[in-house]
């Protein structure tokens, strides 16, 4: 009998493998063909107006989705088995600690006790943070009433900012990318005054002097203006006089606000600095530097000489001017993207909003971590906090406006449809505590400001 060489035997085995592989491919293809044929027969037997090819593609996609879910389910089961194994191992180690000698047993018991304390602390922290996050999406049992009352239309471009005067007569101020600022009658919705002193898009913050009506505006022309006006409702006043102009910034002035007392104004700019001015002399009192990128907002405390500035460097800073000889600065780090605004409440809290889709509530006495975190599905723009109701209004890039309480629980969402609400990005919100008809105002890039009546039941605010 002739002896077969090793090379010829290897060639024969490779040929047999290729043959068996081709047979398996044929079987697989035939199986898939049978399955597709069965699916095609099922589709033909069903009554549908969709074309057969489209229905077949949909069936294939659903089959792929089903396989993906099946894989995830299997991975979940495996993870659960691993967790159970680890738990059993930890329990067995705990038993060996108890059976050791006294000297080693004392040390191991102490280590086990500290480890269990750390584990319990981590679990408690995780549960607390998770409950705060999940509470933002919980549905409320009571119903908040949010009604659109008035629309303020007259700007030719998007409205960047708005504010409400804090003393009588109460008027609404808006600042637009059309280089103008307007004052509106809240009740009638008519424009009372139009200010055209800026060469760039402006932002307005309104506050009365003790005896004189005045408004401060910040603009893209690198200036901030303080202008005085007379409002005698319902008669419109066509003229506003510029009393002070600030020219110390080297970039776009993005925001301005008044310190308590009305004698000083703070401005924030893209030149990474915030300036504190004396209103009567228009002199620069302090230049607040330290941010690494452009500033986005500045806000003052309603009753104390405190200023908070926010920036694109993902931080916001607290500036303390209560002691004339010492100006302390505190840096808050808690966001991962641009801090679009940070505002004070009447108490000892600061609320910050960011492009990272979160809003955080901070305690001025403990600045290491926020006391509440609100997670949303869109970037947050200039927020506002109701002094009386302690409600946070969140304007979003996705045209929504949501309301939360100070603990992070969602209270309501302002209605929006084709007939009412904002149709483009909502830039800013402002509360009006002294008006019973409209107590919340919003503005956006749809060129309009909207007045809302918000009625939150007391039981809903307590939850």
Q: Which pLDDT score, from 0 to 100, does residue 205 have?
A: 46
Neighbours of 259 (CB within 10 A): 20
Would you say residue 213 has pLDDT above 60?
no
Q: What is the distance between the alpha carbons of residues 332 and 293, in angstroms, rounded to a whole number? A: 15
pLDDT in tens, 307-344: 999 999 999 999 999 887 777 889 999 999 999 999 99
Q: Which pLDDT score, from 0 to 100, does residue 35 have?
A: 53
* Arithmetic mean of pLDDT, 273-295: 92
Q: What is the distance between the alpha carbons of residues 216 and 220, in angstroms, rounded to a whole number? A: 14
Would you say residue 192 has pLDDT above 60?
yes
Whether 23 is in a domain gets the answer no
Whether 115 is in a domain gets the answer no
Would you say residue 98 has pLDDT above 60?
no
Whether 77 is in a domain gets the answer no
Q: Which pLDDT score, from 0 to 100, does residue 450 have?
A: 96
Whether 150 is in a domain gets the answer yes
Q: Which pLDDT score, from 0 to 100, does residue 422 have?
A: 94
- Paired tokens of 49: 């107006």
Q: What is the distance between the alpha carbons of residues 445 and 451, in angstroms, rounded to a whole number? A: 16
Q: Which one-letter DSSP state was computed for residue 380?
A: B
* Arithmetic mean of pLDDT, 238-264: 77
DSSP assignment of 335-347 equals: -SS-EEEEEE-SS
By the 8 A CB rule, do 174 and 197 touch? no
Would you say residue 121 has pLDDT above 60?
no
Q: Is the pTM of this model over 0.75?
A: no
Indicate the range of 128-132, 143-147, 235-239 predicted with least confidence: 128-132
Is it true that the peptide bond before 164 is cis, omega within 30 degrees of 0? no
Helix (H) or strand (E) run with residue 460 in it: helix 458-462
CATH number, domain with residue 285:
2.130.10.10
Helix (H) or strand (E) run with residue 53 in it: helix 52-99
Helical axes 102-135 vs 52-99, angle rounded to 10°: 150
Using 50, 70 and 90 to split pLDDT, how confident is the model at 106? Answer: very low
Indicate the range of 27-36, 80-89, 211-220, 373-382 predicted with least confidence: 27-36
By the 8 A CB rule, do 168 and 190 touch? no
Instruction: Please tell me which residue, 153 or 196, carries the higher pLDDT value.
Output: 153
Of residues 440, 453, 449, 454, the one with CA closest to residue 189: 449
Q: What is the distance between the alpha carbons of residues 419 and 233, in angstroms, rounded to a whole number? A: 30
Whether 109 is in a domain gets the answer no
Whether 10 is in a domain gets the answer no
* Domain range for 162: 146-462
Q: Map residue 141 onto helix, strand or coil.
A: coil
Give the total number of structural domains in the chain.
Answer: 1
Place of tokens 């960011």: 354
* Arithmetic mean of pLDDT, 71-95: 81
Whether 43 is in a domain gets the answer no
User: With the C-alpha atoms ordered 341, 360, 318, 388, is the resulting torsion angle positive or negative?
Assistant: positive
Using 50, 70 and 90 to split pLDDT, how confident is the model at 129? Answer: very low
Whether 63 is in a domain gets the answer no
Q: Which pLDDT score, from 0 to 100, does residue 258 have?
A: 87
């Amino acid at each position: 009998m002739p002896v077969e060489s090793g090379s010829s035997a290897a060639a024969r085995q490779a040929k047999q493998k290729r043959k068996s592989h081709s047979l398996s491919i044929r079987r697989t293809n035939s199986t898939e063909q049978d399955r597709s044929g069965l699916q095609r027969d099922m589709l033909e037997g069903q009554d549908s107006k969709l074309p057969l090819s489209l229905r077949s593609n949909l069936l294939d996609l659903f089959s792929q989705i089903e396989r993906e879910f099946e894989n995830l389910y299997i991975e979940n089961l495996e993870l659960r088995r691993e967790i159970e194994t680890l738990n059993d191992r930890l329990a067995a180690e705990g038993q060996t600690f108890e059976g050791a000698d006294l000297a080693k047993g004392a040390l191991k018991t102490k280590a086990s006790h500290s480890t269990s304390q750390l584990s319990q602390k981590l679990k408690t922290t995780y549960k607390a943070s998770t409950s705060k996050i999940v509470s933002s999406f919980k549905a409320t049992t009571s119903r908040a009433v949010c009604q659109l009352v008035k629309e303020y239309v007259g700007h030719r471009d998007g409205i960047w900012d708005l504010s409400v005067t804090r003393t009588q007569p109460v008027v609404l101020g808006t600042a637009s990318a059309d280089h103008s600022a307007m004052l509106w009658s809240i009740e009638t919705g008519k424009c009372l005054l139009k200010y055209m002193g800026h060469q760039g898009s402006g932002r307005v913050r309104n506050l009365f002097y003790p005896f004189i009506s005045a408004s401060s505006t910040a603009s893209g022309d690198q200036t901030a203006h303080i202008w005085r006006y007379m409002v005698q409702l319902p008669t419109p006043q066509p003229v506003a006089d510029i009393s002070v102009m600030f020219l110390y910034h080297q970039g776009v002035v993005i925001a301005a606000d008044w310190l308590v007392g009305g004698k000083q104004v703070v401005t924030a700019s893209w030149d990474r600095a915030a300036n504190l001015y004396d209103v009567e002399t228009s002199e620069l009192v302090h230049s607040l530097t330290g941010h690494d990128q452009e500033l986005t907002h500045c806000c003052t405390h309603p009753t104390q000489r405190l200023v908070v500035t926010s920036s694109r460097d993902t931080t916001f800073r607290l500036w303390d001017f209560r002691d004339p000889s010492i100006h302390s600065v505190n840096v808050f780090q808690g966001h991962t993207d641009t801090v679009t605004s940070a505002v004070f409440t009447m108490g000892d809290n600061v609320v910050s909003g960011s492009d990272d889709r979160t809003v955080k509530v901070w305690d001025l006495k403990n600045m290491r971590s926020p006391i509440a975190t609100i997670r949303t599905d869109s970037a947050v723009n200039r927020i506002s906090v109701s002094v009386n109701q302690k409600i946070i209004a969140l304007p979003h890039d996705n045209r929504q406006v949501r309301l939360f309480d100070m603990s992070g629980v969602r209270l309501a969402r302002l209605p929006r449809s084709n007939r009412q609400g904002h149709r483009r990005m909502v830039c800013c919100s402002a509360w009006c505590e002294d008006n019973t008809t409209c107590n919340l105002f919003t503005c956006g890039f749809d060129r309009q400001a909207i007045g809302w009546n918000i009625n939150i039941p007391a039981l809903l605010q307590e939850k």
